[in-house]
């Protein structure tokens, strides 16, 4: 077992003991504070970075005894975090993705704006306005958007060459991607384009496609369903044709992993570049254009402090330190930052072995300011399941696209109205 992992295990064990002691009736004191933060990465480099920042903070803050980072599996992160909160075993700080709306609405998160604005040298105005909306209510920030990873089009240039195709990056459109994918599939039997993580289940990732057609899952305040719109119909007609007519997109039940070399294109976040193992030549492009012109989509992750923490002040203090300009620059090695000052192609390239500064400029820096986020709603699990159940009918050769989309709205309308 590598030493980092060992350290992590013993740190976790200590954390659990400390938490158990806390439960046993000792009142929250301002000494021997043990903080716990749930995260969904289990990457050793990520955890080592967090540990080193935590160690530096503890050195200056004797009242803090330990700060542990608890890795929960991504897939069950929301369920596990909710269970912990419901079970009275909530962490002090937590990463959050699509659970943020529920957490904010139920008052489970500590407001951060005042603390961060007041923190010395923190420079609140440095935050890019487009990235704070997702984690704000009425102008108040509830989570620091530490990761703002744009979706981009990964290209397996080896597969394109094998199929005798070339890609013209200027004004690349979805129709061209589909045509190229179709040609690659016909020539090599490999997949054309895949939307990573979609797997015919996580439909919200398809926002990376339908935004190109000007569609959205629901309106701004999340009260009206957008699936039955003509734009959405165009988008799904395109996808349905890609699967069943052009065969440029692998169908349901077919595993085609771009990073294992099984597909010519993948829509995936820039942060997935770590999965490129050098077994094929690749390129990266901004998302292709659609009828609605240029657009960009980001997937966000935030870090917040839970109200239920026995040490809200200490936890908020640590969050301010973890996200100050100096540490934010360190985090930017792995997570595209929310700070204007850090969003430069060269800055990002300094720690990126997969892409050039120029590539990062086009797929990250140019995209973040105008980006939309993946659709997110309160009660995310139920919305996701209801829509998924209705959308399953889309993935048959003779599906009636408008009818299926109408049924999606029927399924989620009661939830949107609530």
Partner 1 sequence: MRTDAAARPPRFGPRARRAALYIALIVMAVPFVVPTLWMITSSFKPLNEIFASPPSFFSANPTGAAYAEAFSFQPFARQYFNSVYIALVVTATTMLVSSLAGYAFARIRFPGRNLLFVVVLVGLLVPGEVTIVPLFQMFKQAGLVNTHWPLILVTAFAAPCVLATFIMRQFFIALPIELEEAARIDGLGRFGIWRRICLPLARPALSAVAILTFLSSWNLYLEPTVYLTSPELFTLPQALTRFTDAYGGEMWNTQLAAATMTAVPVLVVFIFAQRQFVESLAHSGLKG
Partner 2 sequence: MADTRIKPREAAPASRGPAARRRRVWTMSRADAAAGYLFIAPQLLGVLVFVIVPVGLAIWYSLNEWNVFTGATTFVGAANYQAALDDPQLPKVLGATAVFSGGVVVLNLALGLALAVMLNRRFRGSVLFRTLFFSPVVVSVVAWTLVWGFLLQDNGGINGVLAALGADGPNWLQSGPTAMIAVTFTQVVRSVGINMVLFLAALQGVPGELYEAARLDGAGSRRIFFRITLPLISPTLLLTAIITIVGALQSFAQIAVLTEGGPGLSTTVLVYYVFQQAFSFNDIGYGSTLALMLLTFVMVLTVIQWQLRRKWVFYED
Which residues lie near partner 1 (CB under 8 A)? Answer: 1-2, 5, 9, 12-13, 16, 20, 23-24, 40-43, 46, 70-76, 80, 83-84, 86-89, 189, 197, 255, 257, 260-262, 269, 272, 275, 279
Residue 85 beta carbon to partner 2: minimum distance, rounded to whole angstroms: 6
Q: Which does 418 bind (CB under 5 to 8 A by kind): partner 2, partner 1, none?
A: none
342 binds partner 2 per the rule CB under 8 A: no
89 binds partner 2 per the rule CB under 8 A: no
Question: With CB under 8 A as the contact rule, which of the stretches 39-47, 142-150, 358-366, 385-393 interacts with partner 2?
Answer: 385-393
Decide: 368 and 150 in contact? Cβ < 8 Å: yes
46 binds partner 2 per the rule CB under 8 A: no
Q: Which does 103 bind (CB under 5 to 8 A by kind): partner 2, partner 1, none?
A: partner 2
Task: Enumerate residues 6+ apart whose C-beta is below 8 A from 325.
Answer: 121, 122, 123, 126, 339, 341
Residue 267: what are its φ and ψ, rounded to 5°?
-90, 115
| Pick 60 or 277: Cβ nearer partner 1 | 277
Residue of 106, 223, 245, 351 that binds partner 2 (CB under 8 A) = 106
Question: With CB under 8 A as the contact rule, which of the stretches 75-83, 289-297, 323-331, 361-369 interacts with partner 2?
Answer: 75-83
**Separation between Cα atoms, residue 312 and residue 20, nearest integer Å:** 18
- Crossing angle, helix 401-417 and helix 380-391, to 10 degrees? 160
102 binds partner 2 per the rule CB under 8 A: yes
| Pick 261 or 402: Cβ nearer partner 1 | 261
Dihedral over Cα of 388, 391, 393, 394: its sign: negative
CB environment 64-97: b (16+ within 10 A), e (fewer) = bebbbbbbbeeeebbeebbebbeeeebbbbbbbb
**Separation between Cα atoms, residue 208 and residue 268, nearest integer Å:** 9
**Separation between Cα atoms, residue 109 and residue 46, nearest integer Å:** 24
> What residues make contact with partner 2 under the rule CB under 8 A?
79, 82-83, 85-86, 102-103, 106-108, 200-201, 251-255, 379, 381-382, 385, 388-390, 392-393, 395-396
């Amino acid at each position: 077992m590598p030493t980092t992992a060992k350290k992590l295990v013993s740190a976790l064990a200590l954390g659990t003991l400390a938490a158990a002691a806390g439960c046993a009736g000792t009142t929250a004191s301002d000494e021997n504070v043990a903080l716990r933060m749930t995260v969904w990465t289990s990457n050793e480099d990520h955890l080592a970075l967090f540990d080193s920042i935590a160690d530096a903070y503890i050195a200056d803050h004797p009242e803090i005894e330990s700060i542990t980072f608890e890795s929960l599996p991504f897939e069950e992160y929301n369920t596990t975090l909710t269970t912990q909160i419901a079970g009275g075993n909530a962490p002090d700080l937590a990463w959050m993705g699509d659970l943020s709306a529920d957490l904010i609405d139920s008052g489970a998160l500590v407001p951060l704006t005042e603390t961060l604005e007041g923190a010395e040298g923190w420079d609140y105005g440095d935050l890019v306005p487009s990235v704070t909306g997702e984690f704000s209510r009425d102008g108040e920030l509830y989570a620091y958007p530490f990761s703002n990873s744009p979706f981009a089009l990964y290209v397996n240039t080896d597969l394109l060459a094998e199929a005798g195709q070339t890609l013209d990056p200027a004004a690349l459109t979805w129709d061209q991607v589909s045509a190229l994918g179709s040609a690659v599939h016909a020539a090599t039997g490999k997949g054309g384009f895949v939307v990573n993580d979609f797997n015919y289940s996580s439909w919200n990732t398809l926002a990376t496609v339908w935004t190109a057609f000007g569609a959205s899952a629901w309106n701004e305040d999340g009260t009206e369903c957008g699936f039955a719109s003509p734009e959405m119909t165009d988008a799904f007609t395109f996808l349905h044709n890609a699967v069943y007519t052009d065969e440029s997109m692998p169908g349901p039940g077919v595993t085609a992993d771009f990073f294992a070399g099984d597909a010519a294109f993948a829509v995936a976040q820039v942060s997935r570049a770590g999965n490129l193992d050098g077994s094929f030549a690749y390129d990266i492009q901004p998302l292709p254009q659609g009828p609605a012109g240029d657009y960009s989509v980001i997937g966000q992750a935030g870090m917040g402090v839970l109200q239920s923490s026995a040490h809200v002040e200490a936890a908020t203090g640590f969050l301010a330190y973890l996200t100050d300009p100096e540490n934010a620059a360190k985090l930017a090695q792995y997570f595209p930052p929310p700070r204007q000052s850090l969003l430069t192609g060269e800055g990002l390239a300094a720690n990126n072995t997969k892409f050039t500064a120029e590539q990062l400029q086009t797929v990250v820096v140019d995209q973040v300011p105008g980006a939309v986020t993946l659709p997110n709603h309160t009660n995310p699990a139920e919305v996701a399941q209801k829509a998924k159940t209705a959308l399953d009918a889309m993935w048959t050769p003779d599906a009636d696209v408008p009818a299926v989309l109408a049924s999606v709205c029927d399924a989620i309308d009661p939830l949107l109205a609530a």
